[in-house]
Structure 1
Amino acid sequence: MNLFEINSAIEIIKQKDLDPEVLADTLESLELARDEKLDSIASWIEDNNSRIDWLAEKNKALAEEKARLTKQNDRLMEFLTNQIDKAGYKQLQTKNHLLKPRNYRAKTVIDNEALLPDVYKKKEEVIKIDKKQLYSDLKDGIEVAGARLEPNRKTTII
């Protein structure tokens, strides 16, 4: 039986006029089956939550490693280019690579934003929704176009 069938059977049995002992035994067996299924679902949720936490940590570690390797490559590229420039080569052929320093568009580096004249500063306006006020108005029965309250029921697994 699935959970819906078990719950339905429990309701049907409660409405029948059965011997109290038979009723208690039947309800107990149905409730035990239901509780086992619900317990399995709760365990599944806990397992998923632990895997989600592990994945979040793994993503963080991978992002940190990506950033570290990117910075390392930037430093290595700067060192490589400086060495070829110091040697006076326009290009250098090694066993595995052809190395050709090139000029790319210059980078804009801002050392201190506060010292920049206002002509270089651009004001951007960001519109954010006041969810606290919106929630309060919706809860008070005010209809707001484009928004609604939706029930948010969950079960605490302890």
Structure 2
Amino acid sequence: MTNTTAIALATNYEKLQQLVETGEFSPEDIADTLEGIEGELGDKLDAIMHHVRNIEGQAKTLDEESKRLSDRKKSFENQAKNLKKYALNCLLASGLDKLKTTKNTFTARAGVVRVIIDNEALLPDELVDVQTITAPDKKSIKEAIENGLEIPGAHLEVGERSLMVR
């Protein structure tokens, strides 16, 4: 087997099709050549898809590992939070607000003041930020254009071709 790239095979196939249209080959020559090029191109594309599936599998494995590590991170963070809370409870139970050791200084800080909203509707307007979110209904716009309506500010466009492999 030659070391020909898939793109080169595809280009050769296109050139051969152009030659076929000019009639420079006999029908038998054309059939044999096309079959050979299609076979080689098919083998190359099969190899590409084998590699693609391998990469997709690796990406899925990394995604799963990322989720597992994220869960593990949360577990460690919760353990640290619980241990700090336990240390605070021990400090408070001893009646101390501050304790100095050779390695750390433990202080029971006063709580931080925070705002709790009981009923947002009762707040004065000058203390509320108003946010307006607009989002086009693309499904409805597509249906309207497909039904012959002209929608100012929108049009339909066919996207790039994509590869479907079964």
| Normalised-by-shorter TM-score class | 0.7 to 0.9
TM-superposed CA distance for 1:143, in Å, is 4.0
5+ residue gaps in structure 2?
none
In the superposition, the TM-score normalised over structure 1's length comes to: 0.72
C-alpha distance in structure 2 between counterparts of 1:133 and 1:33, whole Å: 46
In the superposition, the TM-score normalised over structure 2's length comes to: 0.70
C-alpha distance in structure 2 between counterparts of 1:47 and 1:73, whole Å: 39
Per-residue CA deviations over 1:108-134 (Å, capped at 9, x if unaligned) read: 679xxxxx44426x7865433322102
**Does residue 101 in structure 1 map to residue 122 in structure 2?**
no
C-alpha distance in structure 2 between counterparts of 1:63 and 1:108, whole Å: 31
Q: Which residue of 2 aligns with 1:145?
A: 153
The equivalences for 1:5-154 within 5 A come to: 5-15=11-21, 16-106=23-113, 116-117=118-119, 118-119=121-122, 126-141=133-148, 142-145=150-153, 148-151=156-159, 153-154=161-162
C-alpha distance in structure 2 between counterparts of 1:75 and 1:41, whole Å: 51
Moved more, 136-145 or 101-110: 101-110
Q: Compare relative contact order (CA 8 Å, sep 6+) and give the higher one, 1 or 2.
A: 1
C-alpha distance in structure 2 between counterparts of 1:105 and 1:28, whole Å: 77
Distance change (3 Å), C-alpha of 1:59 and 1:127: farther
Identity among equivalent positions (%) equals 20
5+ residue gaps in structure 1?
111-115
